[in-house]
Amino acid sequence: MTTDQRRRITYILLFVAIFVIETLIALFVHDSIIRPFIGDVIVEWLIYCFVRIFFLYKFRWLPLYVFLFSIGIELLQYIKLINILGLQDNAVMRTLLGTSFSWIDIACYAVGCIFIFIGQRIYASLK
């Protein structure tokens, strides 16, 4: 097995693990800290791992791109895209696109991406 194959498998496993955690949070956690804040932090890790499955080479600015993508989704929530598309009654689309804009969500996304950026630096320094 090549190094690239091992890396790809690692990112697939991380993606699946984080996806399971996010799903469990969405289904079973109804608190005022983990679901609204921690979930938004780790969703950035989920997106990052998904992209890294396909792009294995050094991608220094990926945390920034993930953050910008998340801001884009948040802006779509601001303009109520889910309602514009007539999908407000579709539970899956409501979960994927979200339903309400929040500056706090953007702050949580920033924290998640900062953790990714720090993790990249630590990993690079270990090589």
Q: Residue 6 — pLDDT band, cuts 50, 70, 90?
A: very high
pLDDT tens digits for range 71-92: 999 999 999 999 999 999 998 8
* Residue in 74, 14, 21 with CA at minimum distance from that of residue 50: 14
**3-class secondary structure, 78:** helix
Say what the pLDDT of residue 97 is. 84
Range of 22's domain? Answer: 3-126
Confidence check: pLDDT of 109 > 80 = yes
Q: Looking at the 3D structure of the chain, how many domains does it have?
A: 1
pTM: 0.91
Q: What share of the chain is helix, strand, coil (3-state, %, to 5)?
A: 80, 0, 20
